[in-house]
Structure 1
């Protein structure tokens, strides 16, 4: 796979050693094909299809599971040859799940003054340690998400657990710093996403619950889509549930249903129902990338660092084409003002 990145790069989080922002996609050096990108601060995690974990960017708190203050290019990190199944990145911390078939282990690294590491109040910083007694016996991890300072983990039984900063209610009833994992959703969840100070829980039928900050109309989910609301959900058949810092995006039949803040053009700029249908969508802090079946990649939202491509506009309120893949598109990712595209190598 050939991987390209663009956007904010002050800490080499684009895996570009120059340390300068990139306003157009540039290919980065990577030792393996990749499938998942996780970035929510000034560092980036990349997970390939073989369970190998790579990291680049700021490592001042050990959030890259490595030594050194900065990783200028992608380097393989983690615990030896152990297989990683999931990863997520917060502002200055990271979460990974190791699972070699004998049962999952959740490990965290970085800076966690509000419990982001889930390691207890005596361990607010770590270069990598296991979260004790989690997940519960017999359970496996289905998904991991991270906000600015909190974590949400979806288990295979539909429960959602979390830890970190819960002062806005993003961890349900567990308010304030939550130093250990707690159950924040009792069951029935099929997807989870984290915004800056909120958590989104979706069930298989398209019902949505929002825990946490009520600003920007985040709790104003589409009629019929809230958990427990009567009638069919307009989000039934969803294929992706994601969150920006202050927005929620649900993909249904190739179109994006989104709500929340729009001061920086974060919501998709549909006009009278017009616009392309997307096969892949990646939501960053305040911008979005979306790809069509013919390999065209579009961006919109806050693009000050070039993460929405060239042009000089800080706010992009249109579907701006930023890339056209000549080979199959395999990867789409978005982080804190960073953008990622992966295509099959020629």
Structure 2
């Protein structure tokens, strides 16, 4: 009898918990995969891990947030220092807004609902939330304020996907165009903008991914484009020159790309046959090439994951996690604070399997089975995932 998935899914977390970003009700770090029990009664469909905070989207469209909140990153007032348990973003729920996708930047968050409306909250000092500062009586503008609760941003755009950088915001519209605002380069390098500006040269975009200060766009024709900062080769252009306009990523011709991901200073692309390509900053082994130093200026195949049939990769600040089609996870990169999830705080460029050592759910058909990861999200020093129990009942004696 074939293994069948149960209806029971859980949110997993591990790594640093000093800001409550694991959602466990405390500030302890976890070296092994743990269950976020507070969300067990919710049908969570997506999770996002930021540098110091986290969020979860439920099938109902409700949004839960937890972790660091000094800049309003949790989306509700008053701005406490940290919150270690997930809490509902009540202003969105009260307005019957159904969130379908979200992103966390350096100090701000973005979300999009099922109607294509985008929202922003949190730090806004660089205009990344899209709010213009008020003009004073003397004609000068007041300092930008943090946004404590979600408010509409990019109101003229019909949005399909949001992505957040260190101090800038990027959205993909339903017509396949990309728009951006905020501070797209390290502070001081370029003028800040509050109003969305279209990124020219990109048409029929399917997916976007944003790192600290670099951006990726996967087009419908399968080509990958990049722009932004490039000091570690994270644009994949063969050099370290920054680009203010999109340029094709090298070394991927002939491949059929199905997904992309961007960490703080590194990037990955996933092919339709489960192969992973990585480039950018290689320190701490976050690229998965077996060493802990080498940066790559053009995409290279991660041979250590060859044959594993990878279906998703998430890139964090200094680590990465790859999910296989059969529900296993492999982590690699910086190992302190337990962010690799297998009990050893050792930095490594060798992908290692992350065990999901949790008891079966109470409603499972059989004690025989296993937890299978369905989605993973890497943050600065912690990781979140969604896993589903797969029942493996004993063979019938009559079969």
Q: Which category describes the TM-score, using the shorter chain as reference length?
A: 0.7 to 0.9
Matched, 1:256 2:279: no
Q: Partner of 1:53 in structure 2?
A: 63
Matched, 1:90 2:99: no
Structure with greater Cα Rg: 2
Q: Closer, same or farther in 2 for the Cα pair 1:333/1:166, shift >3 Å?
A: closer
The answer to which of 305-314 and 187-196 deviates more is: 305-314
Q: Partner of 1:237 in structure 2?
A: 256
Return the alpha-carbon distance in structure 2 between the equivalents of residues 6 and 329 of structure 1. Answer: 14
For residue 208 of structure 1, report the CA deviation from its aligned partner.
2.0
Return the alpha-carbon distance in structure 1 between the equivalents of residues 150 and 87 of structure 2. Answer: 19
For residue 313 of structure 1, report the CA deviation from its aligned partner.
3.8
Q: Closer, same or farther in 2 for the Cα pair 1:228/1:320, shift >3 Å?
A: closer
The answer to which of 179-188 and 273-282 deviates more is: 273-282
C-alpha RMSD of matched pairs (Å): 2.8
Please tell me whether the aligned partners of residues 256 and 268 of structure 1 are also in contact (alpha carbons under 8 angstroms).
no
Return the alpha-carbon distance in structure 2 between the equivalents of residues 106 and 160 of structure 1. Answer: 14
Q: Partner of 2:164 in structure 1?
A: 146
For residue 215 of structure 1, report the CA deviation from its aligned partner.
0.8
Return the alpha-carbon distance in structure 2 between the equivalents of residues 106 and 112 of structure 1. Answer: 16
Return the alpha-carbon distance in structure 1 between the equivalents of residues 193 and 55 of structure 2. Answer: 24
Secondary structure of the corresponding residue to residue 279 of structure 1: strand
Q: Partner of 1:156 in structure 2?
A: 174
Q: Partner of 1:193 in structure 2?
A: 209
Q: Partner of 2:18 in structure 1?
A: 10
Q: Closer, same or farther in 2 for the Cα pair 1:235/1:95, shift >3 Å?
A: farther
For residue 298 of structure 1, report the CA deviation from its aligned partner.
0.9
Please tell me whether the aligned partners of residues 288 and 300 of structure 1 are also in contact (alpha carbons under 8 angstroms).
yes
Return the alpha-carbon distance in structure 2 between the equivalents of residues 273 and 291 of structure 1. Answer: 10
Please tell me whether the aligned partners of residues 168 and 198 of structure 1 are also in contact (alpha carbons under 8 angstroms).
no
For residue 52 of structure 1, report the CA deviation from its aligned partner.
1.4
Q: Partner of 2:295 in structure 1?
A: none
Secondary structure of the corresponding residue to residue 166 of structure 1: coil
Q: Which runs of 5 or more structure 1 residues have no equivalent in the other structure?
A: none
Secondary structure of the corresponding residue to residue 264 of structure 1: helix
Q: Which runs of 5 or more structure 2 residues have no equivalent in the other structure?
A: 1-8, 135-143, 239-244, 290-301, 358-369, 392-399
Matched, 1:207 2:239: no
For residue 43 of structure 1, report the CA deviation from its aligned partner.
1.1
Return the alpha-carbon distance in structure 2 between the equivalents of residues 11 and 267 of structure 1. Answer: 27
Return the alpha-carbon distance in structure 2 between the equivalents of residues 227 and 237 of structure 1. Answer: 20
| Residue from 337, 352, 375 that aligns with 1:305 | 337
Please tell me whether the aligned partners of residues 106 and 135 of structure 1 are also in contact (alpha carbons under 8 angstroms).
no
For residue 132 of structure 1, report the CA deviation from its aligned partner.
5.0
Return the alpha-carbon distance in structure 2 between the equivalents of residues 260 and 66 of structure 1. Answer: 36
For residue 268 of structure 1, report the CA deviation from its aligned partner.
2.3
The answer to which of 317-326 and 28-37 deviates more is: 317-326
Q: Closer, same or farther in 2 for the Cα pair 1:235/1:7, shift >3 Å?
A: farther
Q: Partner of 2:192 in structure 1?
A: 177
| Residue from 326, 329, 334 that aligns with 2:373 | 329
For residue 47 of structure 1, report the CA deviation from its aligned partner.
0.8
After TM superposition, the score normalised by the length of structure 1 is: 0.87
